[in-house]
Amino acid sequence: MKLLHTSDWHLGRVFHNVSLLEDQAFILDQIIAYATDQQVDAVLIAGDIFDRAVPPSSAMTLLDDTLHRLTQIHNIPVILISGNHDSAERLAFGARSLSNQNLHIFHNIKDSNQAVTLTDTKGHGAEFYGIAYHAPEQVRSQFDIPVKTFDEAHTFLVQRILETPKNTDFRILLSHCFVDGAQECDSERPLAIGGADRVSAGPMKAFDYVALGHLHGQQKRGAEHIRYSGSPLKYSFSEERHNKAVTLVELSIDLPPVITQLPLTPLRNMRTLEGEMNALMAAGQNDPHSSDFLAITLTDKHALLDAMAKLRTVYPNVLQLEKTFLQNSHGTQHANKALQHNEQAMFADFFKEATGEMMDDGQKKYIANLLDQIHHEQTGGEA
The C-alpha atoms of residue 76 and residue 160 are separated, in whole angstroms, by: 28
For the stretch 99-139, pLDDT in tens is 888 999 999 999 999 999 999 988 999 999 999 999 999 99
Residue 154: which of 190, 125, 172, 179 has the closest Cα? 179
Which position has the higher pLDDT, 184 or 144?
144
CB 85 within 8 A of CB 53: yes
The C-alpha atoms of residue 272 and residue 295 are separated, in whole angstroms, by: 5
CB 240 within 8 A of CB 218: no
pLDDT > 50? residue 353: yes
- If you average pLDDT over every residue of the chain, what do you get? 89
How far, in Å, are 20, 25, 35, 209 from residue 69 at the CA level? 21, 13, 11, 25
Q: Tell me what pLDDT residue 331 has.
A: 47
**Phi, psi for 64 (deg, rounded to 5):** -60, -45
Residues in the chain: 383
CB 38 within 8 A of CB 2: yes
DSSP, residue by residue, 20-67: -HHHHHHHHHHHHHHHHHTT-SEEEEES--BSSSS--HHHHHHHHHHH
CB 203 within 8 A of CB 158: yes
For the stretch 38-87, pLDDT in tens is 999 999 999 999 999 999 999 999 999 999 999 999 999 999 999 999 99
- Buried b / exposed e across 237-263, counting CB within 10 Å, b at 16+? bbbeebebbbbbbebeeeeebebeebe
pLDDT > 90? residue 187: no
Q: Tell me what pLDDT residue 206 has.
A: 96
Least confident span in 1-5, 92-96, 104-108, 330-334: 330-334
Share of the chain above pLDDT 70, in %: 89
β-bridge pairing 2-6 and 245-252: antiparallel
The C-alpha atoms of residue 70 and residue 250 are separated, in whole angstroms, by: 19
β-bridge pairing 42-46 and 18-19: unpaired
Where would I find the H helices in the chain? 21-37, 57-68, 88-91, 95-98, 136-143, 150-162, 277-285, 307-311, 333-355, 361-378
> What is the pLDDT confidence band of residue 379, given thresholds at 50, 70 and 90?
low
CB atoms within 10 A of CB 196: 14
Which position has the higher pLDDT, 76 or 89?
76
**Reduced to 3 states, what is the DSSP secondary structure of residue 322?**
strand
Q: Tell me what pLDDT residue 285 has.
A: 94
Q: Tell me what pLDDT residue 185 has.
A: 79
**pTM, entire model:** 0.84
∠ CA 196-12-261, nearest 5°, is 70
In sequence order, what are the residues at sequence separation of 6 or more whose Cβ sits closer than 8 angstroms to the Cβ of residue 30? 264, 265
Q: Tell me what pLDDT residue 200 has.
A: 95
CB 44 within 8 A of CB 4: yes
What are residue 176's DSSP bridge partners?
A: 213
pLDDT > 80? residue 189: no
β-bridge pairing 255-263 and 226-228: unpaired
The C-alpha atoms of residue 251 and residue 236 are separated, in whole angstroms, by: 33
Q: Tell me what pLDDT residue 57 has.
A: 96
The C-alpha atoms of residue 173 and residue 166 are separated, in whole angstroms, by: 13
